[in-house]
Amino acid sequence: MAREWHELTRMTQGRPLTVERVRLVHEDIAIEGSFTLPPLASLSAEDQVFVIAFVRSHGSIKAMEEMFGISYPTVKNRLNRIARRLEFVENVVTSPEEQAIAELERGEISVDEAIRRLSE
């Protein structure tokens, strides 16, 4: 699978890509439509490897310096360049009341649990 992603990123050269069919590997199910890939998939194969290494090293710039044989400023510059290409997803903080109502609407909690939370 990793080889296929590498080939795909090489072919697209970072250009936008739309997936039109998805098939579950071990099921007889396919979904057709228009799907965009997650932001990390739009990075070059080399940048994907860099991000994976950074995560696996628990964000240690020192480990990245040793692993790639590059300097601290080079690691920082590359991370900054990659970060500019990735859209930031902001977590919206909701009040406990809004959270309880949202969970109730999604069927994640019972009416009794929602009432208990709202009365606190």
Q: Delimit the domains of the chain by residue range.
A: 2-85, 91-120
* AA identity, residue 85: R
Q: Work out the burial of residue 31: count CB atoms within 10 Å of its CB; fewer than 13 is exposed, 13-18 middle, 19 or more buried.
A: exposed
β-bridge mates for residue 38, sequence order: none
CATH topology of domain 2-85: Arc Repressor Mutant, subunit A (1.10.10)
Q: What is the pLDDT along the chain (120 residues), one digit of tens a residue?
A: 456 656 666 777 767 777 888 888 888 888 888 877 788 888 888 899 999 999 999 999 999 999 999 999 999 999 999 998 887 766 666 788 888 888 888 888 999 999 998 888
Residue 28 is predicted with a pLDDT of 86
Q: Identify the pLDDT of residue 3.
A: 61
What is the DSSP secondary structure assignment for residue 27, as one 8-state letter? S
Do you know the residue count of the chain? 120
- Residue 37 has phi, psi (to 5 degrees) of -80, 155
CA–CA separation, 20 vs 36, rounded Å? 9
